[in-house]
Structure 1
Amino acid sequence: MPRWEQGAEDRLRKAALALFLQHGYENVTVAQITERAGLTRRTFSRYFADKRDVLFAGSDQLPSALADAVLKADAELTPFEALLDALERVGDVVAARTAPHAAQRQAIVDGSTELQERGRTKFAAVSDALDAALRQRGAAPATAGLLAHVGVAVFRTALGRWADDPDAAACSARVREAADELAHALDRR
């Protein structure tokens, strides 16, 4: 018998999402998730730290992925252009990894204040990483901080719109759309 059960992570994720949608995030236990998936608590712990991690697994890599993308952007780009380039490229990677469950995940997070707070905490780390990367590219500290916050707002907006209808447009197109909306709004002030 294999040491790791094939497809266990996906089975756990599907079971958790179904239960969260059916009963609400707060009303579901890890024991219920593992029972529904036909797996053990020990198997759950191999893949996820806790039930929140089912929804946020891999998000700890987002700050460094975005910061690296900012640093690797063409040196001729302005700080804002480098930021948008990074958001577009990483957005499509995130979308590819989360596509099968994006709308479900978003609905669950939207229904839980605990998960919304977790999301805000995760994006605060993204903002810090973007700020540092933009400074490293030569942006003034105040500008880097402002652009980092704007970048997070654009990214969150784009991800939310993409999750609502992933077949309508790529996540990178949603990033550009959100940035264009922002630019248009600023032009009208």
Structure 2
Amino acid sequence: MARWQPETTQRLIVAAVDLFTEQGYDATTVAQIAERAGVTKSTFFRHFSDKRELLVAGQETLSRLLAEGIAEAPADASPLQAVAAGLERASGAMGPANRELGPRLRAAIAASTELQERDALKSVGLAAAMTAALVARGVPDPTAHLAAELGVLAFKRGYAQWSESDRDDPRGLAHHALSALRDLRAATASLG
């Protein structure tokens, strides 16, 4: 097995998600993930501390991109407009591999309580990054927190729609995430 090959992290993630889907999270070992990815077990541990960490791979990058997009939004942007800028920025980093992985990842998460908990923590981290970016723009904390939570929900809904849409659909993740954000904004008006 090769120790250092291009795209090792992505191969490990795909191997893990496939194994989680095929045989369940609990039944999947790090050794099996490494073997499926074509690397050694020690290479696995250079990339991830344990198999749970595979789910949050890229979270730091995603949080950073969301925050950067919010920070770079026009000064007169509303909190949700700033969140939309963050969604656009983060969506630009998601490619075909992310799209293909979506349905399998959701199936793996749905089948494991431990992965559901890890996914919830990932959402909390993304919301915290967006909240901090909004507060840094001068948005009051309660408003920033609500806008960030709507942003996380929009990203998740948009990602689900994008990954399940027809592969010939030329609209990218940004389209679906921004559409989800518009729908959520309209839904908040009905709350009274």
With the length of structure 2 as denominator, give the TM-score of the two structures: 0.84
What SS does the aligned partner of 1:175 have?
Answer: helix
Contact 2:157 2:180 in 1 (8 A): yes
How far 1:138 sits from its partner (Å)?
1.6
Contact 2:15 2:33 in 1 (8 A): yes
Tell me what 1:27 maps to. 27
Contact 1:15 1:37 in 2 (8 A): yes
Contact 1:127 1:149 in 2 (8 A): yes
What SS does the aligned partner of 1:114 have?
Answer: helix
Tell me what 1:46 maps to. 46
Contact 1:60 1:122 in 2 (8 A): no
Shift of the 129–6 alpha-carbon distance from structure 1 to 2, 3 Å rule, reads: closer
Tell me what 1:179 maps to. 181
CA distance in 1: counterparts of 2:9 and 2:62, whole angstroms: 20
Shift of the 3–142 alpha-carbon distance from structure 1 to 2, 3 Å rule, reads: closer
Shift of the 66–5 alpha-carbon distance from structure 1 to 2, 3 Å rule, reads: closer
CA distance in 2: counterparts of 1:119 and 1:86, whole angstroms: 20
CA distance in 1: counterparts of 2:54 and 2:163, whole angstroms: 17
Tell me what 1:152 maps to. 152
Contact 2:66 2:130 in 1 (8 A): yes
CA RMSD, Structure 1 to Structure 2 (Å):
2.4
Q: Percent identity, please.
A: 35
Unaligned runs of 5+ in 2: none
With the length of structure 1 as denominator, give the TM-score of the two structures: 0.86
Shift of the 137–171 alpha-carbon distance from structure 1 to 2, 3 Å rule, reads: same
Unaligned runs of 5+ in 1: none
Contact 2:70 2:86 in 1 (8 A): yes
How far 1:160 sits from its partner (Å)?
2.0
Structure with bigger helix share is 1
Bigger drift between 137-146 and 87-96 goes to 87-96
CA distance in 2: counterparts of 1:95 and 1:115, whole angstroms: 23
CA distance in 2: counterparts of 1:36 and 1:179, whole angstroms: 38
How many positions carry a matched residue from both structures? 189
Tell me what 1:128 maps to. 128
CA distance in 1: counterparts of 2:188 and 2:81, whole angstroms: 16
What SS does the aligned partner of 2:76 have?
Answer: coil
